[in-house]
Amino acid sequence: MVNLDQLMEDFGRNAEKMIVPDQAKRKAMTAAGAGVYVEALKKETRSRHYQPGRKIGKVKHLADSITFDNKDVDGVDNGNSLAGFTGKDESGINHARIARFLNDGTKFINGDSFVDKTRRASANAVFEAERAIYEQRGDGGGTTNDSSK
Q: What are the pLDDT digits (tens) for 26-81?
A: 899 999 999 999 999 999 999 998 877 776 677 778 888 899 999 888 888 888 99
For residue 10, what pLDDT is reported? 81
Locate all alpha helices (DSSP H) within 51-141, ordered by sequence.
88-91, 95-104, 114-121, 123-134
What is the reported pTM? Answer: 0.76
User: Regarding predicted confidence, which is higher, 145 or 42?
Assistant: 42
> What's CA 42's distance to the chain center, in Å?
13
- Burial group, residue 64, by CB count within 10 angstroms (0-12, 13-18, 19+): middle
For residue 17, what pLDDT is reported? 65
Domain boundaries, the chain: 21-134
Whole-number Å distance between alpha carbons of 42 and 81: 17
